[in-house]
Amino acid sequence: MEIDVLSDAVAALTVAPALSVQLRTRAPWGLRFGGRRGFGFHVVVHGECLLLREGARPMVLRSGDVVLMPSGAVHTLADSAGSEPLELVVDRRVERVTVGGEGAETVVVSGAYRIEPGVRHPLLAGLPEVVHLPGPRHDRLGAAVALLCAEIEARDPGADAIATTLVDALLVYILRAWHDGNATGWTAAMTDQAIGHTLHRMHSAPAEPWTVDGLAAEIGLARATFLRRFTRLVGEPPLTYLTRWRMITAARLLRRDRAPLAAVARQVGYRSEFAFAKAFKREYGIAPGAYRTQRG
């Protein structure tokens, strides 16, 4: 069975349960986000606000707008550029926060995902600094936001589990909506018939001893043509991507499975545990056993 590459990439992206927060604000107000081990999104449910970033023009966000900040860069949401921001720290998986004065009300739902620092994940690498989806245009995305708001408000039993699942789903909906109008980079690779097939094969069977010649022959392209096309669309050569994906897959297995390191190595295409450990440490800066102890 072939793997859904987008689903596989999203599943391997985060290293901890997602966080969600509903912000009820009244002018004047400002909240600072980012700069930690992760990235996140904001959905303006009611009212409007500004997205402020150093060195960039203020972006006006209105009701229904969605922004994803793939790099996790520091940014501020505020009623105006002159409002003094507070730094928002969310410790619980589902939270409600009320800030500000007595002016116009704005309601924002935000989600945050924790990722491995310093690891270049292909899902995020080709995205702009700010993914902005003007709303309301996306029915499923809007429905997921409405459900998330309801769970945060009601705080019924099981709300944390449901909210975490919805925040994960929101990431997929946001990426889908962005990809629909922006077929560039990794998005273009997934939708390209030949290179998309190659990505499916790599994700479906990362342990296979793939070669450039074999992959090119499988999709009926000359070796040089395949190399150029894959590198242009994905952003790196096929075997470099394969090694990176194997390490991302290995990290996911180490976090979630207690199998021996030799078994994990075999699942991602390494017969030698030593060679696997060397490749893993090169990518993550830590040996696989120590990674499991810290992250497991």
CATH code, domain carrying 82: 2.60.120.280
Residues 13 and 116 in one domain: yes
Residues 160 and 273 in one domain: no
Residues 31 and 89 in one domain: yes
Residues 14 and 39 in one domain: yes
| C-alpha–C-alpha distance, residues 27 and 80, integer Å | 8
pLDDT tens readout for residues 68-77? 999 888 999 9
| C-alpha–C-alpha distance, residues 18 and 2, integer Å | 27
Q: For residue 212, is pLDDT > 90?
A: yes
CATH code, domain carrying 207: 1.10.10.60
Residues 248 and 170 in one domain: no
pLDDT tens readout for residues 39-98? 999 999 999 999 999 999 999 999 989 999 998 889 999 999 999 999 887 767 778 899
Lowest mean pLDDT among 117-121, 231-235, 270-274: 117-121
Residues 152 and 43 in one domain: yes
Range of the domain at 28: 5-181
**pTM beyond cutoff 0.75:** yes
